[in-house]
Amino acid sequence: MRGSDMHVREQVLYTEKDIKKRVSELARQISEDYAGKEITGVGVLKGSFIFMADLVREITVPLTCSFVQVYTREGEEGSLVSKNILYIYKFDITGKDVLLISEIIDTGVTLSYLVNHLKEMKPNSLKLCILMDKPERRKVNIKADYVGFTIPNHYVFGYGLDNKERARDLPYISFYKE
Provide the Cα torsion 26, 28, 29, 30; round to 10°: 80
Distance between CA 145 and CA 101 in Å, rounded?
11
Nearest distance in Å: CB 55, ligand IMP: 16
Nearest distance in Å: CB 44, ligand IMP: 6
Distance between CA 9 and CA 68 in Å, rounded?
34
**Long-range pairs of 152-156 with CB within 8 A, sequence gap ≥ 24:** 154/13, 156/13, 156/104, 156/132
Local structure of residue 173 (DSSP, 8 states): E
Contact string (CB under 6 A) for ligand IMP, positions 86-105, x = contact: ------------------xx
107 binding partner (options Mg ion, ligand IMP, none; Cβ < 5 to 8 Å by kind): ligand IMP
Task: Kindly indicate which of the ranges 32-40, 56-64, 92-100, 153-161 contains the residues binding ligand IMP, using the contact rule CB under 6 A.
Answer: 153-161
Q: Which sign, positive or negative, has the C-alpha torsion 5, 75, 48, 22?
A: positive
Between residue 116 and residue 175, which ones bind Mg ion under the rule CB under 5 A? 162
Task: State which residue, 61 or 70, has the beta carbon closest to Mg ion.
Answer: 70
Could you say whether residue 106 binds ligand IMP (CB under 6 A)? yes
Distance between CA 147 and CA 129 in Å, rounded?
6
Could you say whether residue 69 binds ligand IMP (CB under 6 A)? no
Quick check: is 106 catalytic?
A: yes
Task: State which residue, 92 or 169, has the beta carbon closest to ligand IMP.
Answer: 169
Task: State which residue, 145 or 162, has the beta carbon closest to Mg ion.
Answer: 162
Q: Is the peptide bond before 127 cis (omega within 30 degrees of 0)?
A: no
Locate all alpha helices (DSSP H) within 48-163, ordered by sequence. 49-58, 109-120
The residues annotated with a catalytic role in the active site are 106
Interface positions with ligand IMP (CB under 6 A) = 47, 104-111, 155-157, 161-162
